[in-house]
Amino acid sequence: MAVSLADTDTGTVPPIVTALRAVLPADRILTDPDLTSGYAHDEAEWAPRGQPAVVVRARDTAEVAATVRACAELRVPVVPRGAGTGLSGGANAVDGCVVLSLEAMRSILEINRAERLAVVQPGVVNDELRAAVAEQGLWYPPDPASAPWSTIGGNVSTNAGGLCCVKYGVTKDYVLALEIVTATGEVVRLGRRTAKGVAGYDLVGLLVGSEGTLAVITEVTVKLRPLRTAPTRTVVGFFDSLSAVGDAVAGVTDAGLQPAIFELIDRHCLRAVEEWKHMSLPDDAAALLLAQSDLAGPAGEAETAAILAEFVKAGARDAVASTDPVEAEALFDARRLAYPALEQRGDAVLTEDVCLPRGMLATMLARIEQIAERHQVQIANVAHAGDGNLHPLMITPQGDEEAKLRSQAAFEEIVDTAIELGGTVTGEHGVGLLKRRGMQRELGPAAVALQRAVKAAWDPDDLLNPGKVIG
């Protein structure tokens, strides 16, 4: 193992390392560049990154607070980090910072069946929480595609969504309370455990989606739902064009139907998943739509039939309804695996996250096809079709600088097009570094100024995740 100068020559030890060694156990602190470099970035393609001076792997709130206080005293930036699965550069280091990793804070502190809530540390993995509460007959709905790896703290920081969000909402709809460490190192509790409460400003709501720029989250209280027990019915439709897919989504929406899951997977993604996992997936259609009803009894049968009718009306060349849970789960696994499957090919994958009014979905999909042709970029698509959240994926050969520039240009044009059509630059991945220009254009100078005033009030020295979101 390589050893950095900071560990061998006390004359070169940065002051922040000395300060941290005075307040933390030695095994919490990493200074070896071979190790710290792995904490310097998330999964965002081509987002700028710096080299941290040190990585702290905290185990509890007291260690987080001690770390932040040391950084505040020395005016050293702090970049909070969970599992590093983000796709916007929100966890990327700046030079000389302390990366504060919360991945070791993995305890589920409480599951309260009577109150239908759970209290967890930020490093708890999403799927681990879902499995734990399921044992108590409860359900935590937010389920991003990264659920097997992403942490609750990271989900809160970006207001993550997922496959079930079309009917059951996103992370912010489930966060009741937070324990945080402020920019000065003070531990503060916000929120409530009650079903209702309007005491003061909604500071919990402000922190959800703030990407670590206002405080470090050290504990999360989430509300839960009863575990679903009714059998589900899945409708699958194969379409020969993305515009027909958009028409099907519009038809389902206009009919007032509300599937529990409503997803799009295009040909490029299906082929990548099939090459990787050999799941016997079809890949001869432009895209498929997956819709699932979780209503019980005749209501579920009626909803399923109505969704199927809308698929047929929109021109699906093949559309079927199934009650086979194994078959359905294989298709939803394909949706979750789309992004890693594309990465497995060895290409760079630049990921978009625009969200459109549902009535503009067909228009946006057509515009994406035009953008891909104009910039000579292969763009794959997956989407939470039911709420208009599109994830165009720009696929670029590694090391091809001209192709990289074309992909970046396509990325920016997709952002601009989403704004033009009344959408937003990010539905669930966050602004981070990649979407700052688009966010400023979307919100306008007055709204950006208000956000900067909030940042200044919470973090006047700009030490918490500097450069992210508002720049």
- Give the predicted TM-score (pTM) of the model: 0.93
Q: Where in the chain is the domain with CATH 3.30.465.10?
A: 108-226
Residue 1 — pLDDT band, cuts 50, 70, 90?
very low
Task: Note whether 359 and 250 are within 8 A (CB).
Answer: yes
Check whether 422 has a pLDDT greater than 70. yes
In this predicted model, which residue has the larger pLDDT, 170 or 362?
170
% of the chain with per-residue pLDDT over 90: 88
**Which of 221, 198, 200, 202 is CA-nearest to residue 210?**
202
Check whether 18 has a pLDDT greater than 70. yes
296-300, 360-364, 422-426, 453-457: range with lowest mean pLDDT: 360-364
Per-residue pLDDT at 168: 96
CATH class (in words) of the domain with range 5-101: alpha beta
CA dist., res. 76 & res. 92, Å (int): 15
Q: Where in the chain is the domain with CATH 3.30.43.10?
A: 5-101
Q: How far is CA 247 from CA 235, 305, 388, 410, in A?
A: 16, 17, 12, 24
Residue 73: CB partners within 8 Å, gap ≥ 6?
A: 19
Check whether 7 has a pLDDT greater than 70. no
Mean pLDDT estimate for the chain: 94
CA dist., res. 348 & res. 402, Å (int): 13
Per-residue pLDDT at 11: 56
**362-396 as b/e, with b when 16 or more CB fall inside 10 Å?**
bebbebbbebbeebebbbbbbbbbbbbbbbbbbbb
Edge-first strand listing for the sheet containing 378-384:
318-322, 233-239, 287-293, 261-266, 378-384, 389-396, 348-351
pLDDT digits (tens, 9 = 90+) for 169-227: 999 999 999 999 999 999 999 999 999 999 999 999 999 999 999 999 999 999 999 99
Residue 50 — pLDDT band, cuts 50, 70, 90?
very high
Indicate the DSSP class of residue 221.
E
**Which of 312, 328, 329, 342 is CA-nearest to residue 238?**
312
Residue 3 — pLDDT band, cuts 50, 70, 90?
very low
Residue 5 — pLDDT band, cuts 50, 70, 90?
very low
Residue whose token pair is 């409480």: 110
Indicate the DSSP class of residue 195.
S
Per-residue pLDDT at 323: 85
In this predicted model, which residue has the larger pLDDT, 384 or 359?
384
Check whether 25 has a pLDDT greater than 80. yes
Give the CATH fold of the 108-226 domain: 3.30.465
CA dist., res. 21 & res. 400, Å (int): 43
Q: Where in the chain is the domain with CATH 3.30.70.2190?
A: 230-344
% of the chain with per-residue pLDDT over 70: 98
| Mean pLDDT across 394-421 | 97
Residue 313: CB partners within 8 Å, gap ≥ 6?
A: 248, 251
Residue 302: CB partners within 8 Å, gap ≥ 6?
A: none
Per-residue pLDDT at 471: 79
Task: Note whether 465 and 211 are within 8 A (CB).
Answer: yes
Per-residue pLDDT at 377: 97
Give the CATH fold of the 230-344 domain: Alpha-Beta Plaits (3.30.70)
pLDDT digits (tens, 9 = 90+) for 82-91: 999 999 999 9
Per-residue pLDDT at 327: 84
| Mean pLDDT across 27-49 | 96
